[in-house]
């Protein structure tokens, strides 16, 4: 299930047009463990590893969001993200994520669901 699955086409377009599209190289880390919740990314293409204390705990791909858990829970990040090749992503500031949560209730629900699943709460 991707972050977009329960959203309308219009809602998906709003989300995609709110963020900044970026291309990142392999072995790039946009999010670091134990850092503040200042941004999130949605992966458009490519794959990234989720690492906790240097150990890979998951792999994410197109349609997955990263960095949402710390924003939703207002806590420091509990893992790092490392790209496994060239990755196309949409970058969001924490403010943009909060604004989208207010504007699109289904997006807020999807973020909360993903955060609960990943954080085990």
Superfamily of segment(s) 9-119: Jelly Rolls (2.60.120.10)
| 3 state SS of 18 | helix
Does the pTM of the predicted model rise above 0.75? yes
- The pLDDT assigned to 115 comes to 77
- In this structure, what DSSP letter does residue 71 have? H
112 confidence band (pLDDT: 50, 70, 90): confident
> Which are the contacts of 8, defined by CB distance < 8 A and separation ≥ 6?
106
Q: Report, as an integer, the average pLDDT of 9-22.
A: 96
Mean pLDDT of the chain: 92
52: how many CB neighbours lie within 10 A of its CB?
Answer: 13
pLDDT one-digit tens code per residue, 20-78: 999 999 999 999 999 998 999 999 999 999 999 999 999 999 999 999 888 888 889 99
Note whether 91 and 45 are within 8 A (CB): no
Q: How far apart are CA 61 and CA 36, in angstroms?
A: 23
């Amino acid at each position: 299930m991707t972050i977009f699955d329960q959203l309308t086409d219009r809602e998906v377009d709003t989300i995609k047009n709110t963020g900044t599209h970026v291309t990142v190289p392999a072995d790039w880390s946009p999010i670091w463990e134990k850092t503040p919740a200042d941004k999130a990314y949605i992966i458009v293409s490519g794959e990234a590893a989720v690492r906790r204390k240097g150990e890979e705990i998951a792999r994410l791909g197109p349609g997955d969001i990263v960095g949402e858990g710390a924003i939703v829970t207002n806590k420091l990040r509990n893992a790092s993200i490392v790209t496994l090749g060239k990755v196309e992503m949409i970058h969001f500031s924490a403010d943009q994520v909060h604004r989208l949560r207010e504007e699109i209730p289904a997006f807020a629900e999807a973020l909360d669901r993903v955060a609960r699943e990943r954080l085990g709460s």
